[in-house]
Chain A
Amino acid sequence: MRTLDVPPVDAVALETRAAELATRSIKKDAKRAGLRMVVEMIDLTTLEGQDTPGKVRALCRKARAPLAGDPEVPPVAAVCVYPDLVPVAVEALVGSTVQVASVATHFPAGRAPLQQKLDDVRYAVAAGATEIDMVIDRGEFLRGGEALVLGEIAAVKEACGEAHLKVILETGELGTYDRIRRACRVALEAGADFLKTSTGKVSPASTRPVVLLMLEEVRDHYLATGRIVGVKAAGGIRTAKDALRYLVMVNETCGDLWLRPDRFRFGASSLLNDVLMQWVRLGDGRYQRPEDFSQD
């Protein structure tokens, strides 16, 4: 691999711009359209040690029809689970547009031999996952082994076959914007279909400046190569208001070319209910009660 020539990030400008783009007030019809778009972009996620087939089935029901009785609310983009629960999700989502995403490569730490990581990926794909969320080897990346990380991503991409590959950078562990930019370049070069911020297991997870940086990277990659790569903001996005701020950032950075579920995603679990509460409030004018919305 050639040495990547990556310019440093102007952290002050990045954070200022991310903050400026968060100040817009989105109301009424624009809000309704925005909320609808957020729902379409959600990867409804459950990644807990305590997950059961029953919980995954409940999540899938919610993914197909997030708000019972309101067909105007579209299905979410995908359900995201651990590999062993992929068959359950596939069965529960038959006949719907909802994709099955699986984390793989020994999520969330990624500490396993490459062969085992590839087996993990092949198992998930064979079980029916159409999207694979892999984690990069942050330890190797941080000690300078970028070529090794790139090779690993490329190998996973090959193991994915037709499945879409999202590469989790775990930006909360990378420490600086400069390193995040380098990690983006490595993943883009290795053939990622999506750049994803975080596993959701490390704090900070997704932050707006980091996602802005990633959006700029995929935009520049598109301008240089013509290849479109998506971005997934995952972890820590819990409110509709926050999600709408991300959409503003997407639109202002990449244009509406990226305002589609196959190019921008939210990895979240509690976000969906807040969006639904806002949706219902727009309809009947009353602030809603969280208990009135199903928790799965």
Chain B
Amino acid sequence: MSDAHEGTGARPAVLKTWKLFVGGALPRSESGRTYQPAAARHCNVARASRKDLRDAVEAARKGQGSWWNRDAYNRGQIVYRIAEMLETRATAIVDELVACGVEQEVARREVEASVDLCAWHAGLCDKVGVLLGSQNQVSGPFFNFSTIEPTGVVFVAAPEQPSLLGLLALLLPPLVGGNAVIALCSESAPLAGLAFGEVCASSDVPAGAINLLAGPRAELVGHAAAHRAIDGLLLAGRPEPSVGAEAADSVKRVRWCDAEWDAPGLAERVRRLDWVEPFVEVKTLWHPVSGW
């Protein structure tokens, strides 16, 4: 067999279409559409449709039980594994950030901060129950405990920049609370976020516990607000008033935040228990004290 490229040193180009991460798999959009992000015009990224969001919700509802039914300690191990894999792929992910217009040194610091943030949340997994739950002093012969349970499926919309650290800052808190998360990556710079999906795919994350979409934020956030099987929204930046009205129809928990994404000290500022707290439900148990 003759090799047309032999001797010339040329190889056929292997070009990447950036895929979504849904239910543990890396599908294209069911619509077949792709888009070229504003910050990386040379790339084709799967453009998620309303149907992809719906598929992600179904995957998330399946995955949520599998995630929450694990020991808290095991959830911590898995989030730590995410940190390990992110560290292993750090060089490649820095390149994806640079491809989206971030300066090399800034990109390196962002990836390092992202790894650290994963490790911090890994440690939080088996402590969040103690931090947000309590043993209550009641009058009478009862033990009285407040324990936390996840809200369910939380939709997260990442800020445009920083595209990776911002995504993780919003995705990890509900995840640590035991929720399944559907996260919409930065619309203009989704590459590092989607690369994070590839990290999750090799980190023992149960299928559907983390799902990553890319596409037009204005369109998808509206669909997420209307989808009755999504239990919470955590959005970077103030949403349109219609989002709140739609979300109210199914009594979703809605939080939006402006963490001054471009100000210094972000890496420390996003280690926040108060972003876990809105997406857990408190259950209080009364138990008789024996021997009275």
Contacts and interface: CB of A to CB of B under 8 A. Distances in A.
B219 to A, nearest CB: 14
Contacts of B229: 287-290
Contacts of B227: 286-287
Interface residues of A, number: 7
Nearest to B228: A289
Interface in A260-296: 285-290, 292
B228 A288 contact: yes
Interface in B172-196: none
B71 interface: no
A14 to B, nearest CB: 27
B204 interface: no
Contacts of A288: 228-229
Contact of B57 (A285, A287, A292): A287
Most buried by B among A285, A287, A289: A287
Contacts of A285: 226
Interface string B44-73: 000000000010010001000000000000
B30 to A, nearest CB: 12
B103 interface: no
B250 interface: yes
A286 B249 contact: yes
A153 B230 CA distance: 50
B249 to A, nearest CB: 7
Nearest to A291: B229
A288 B226 CA distance: 9
A290 B250 CA distance: 12
Nearest to A288: B228
Nearest to B229: A289
Interface in B205-228: 226-228
B65 to A, nearest CB: 13
A290 B227 CA distance: 11
A116 B201 CA distance: 54
Contacts of A289: 228-229, 250
A83 B227 CA distance: 41
A270 to B, nearest CB: 13
A147 to B, nearest CB: 47
A276 B249 CA distance: 19
A289 B250 CA distance: 9
Contacts of B57: 287
Nearest to B250: A289
A287 B51 CA distance: 10
Given A286-B228, A287-B228, A292-B228, 16 more contacts: A285-B226, A286-B226, A286-B227, A286-B249, A286-B250, A287-B54, A287-B57, A287-B226, A287-B229, A288-B228, A288-B229, A289-B228, A289-B229, A289-B250, A290-B61, A290-B229
Interface of A: 285-290, 292
- Please name the 7 residue pairs, one residue from A and one from B, whose CB atoms are nearest each other, closest first: A289-B228, A289-B229, A287-B227, A286-B226, A288-B228, A286-B228, A287-B54
10 contacts: A286-B226, A286-B228, A287-B54, A287-B226, A287-B228, A288-B229, A289-B228, A289-B229, A290-B229, A292-B228
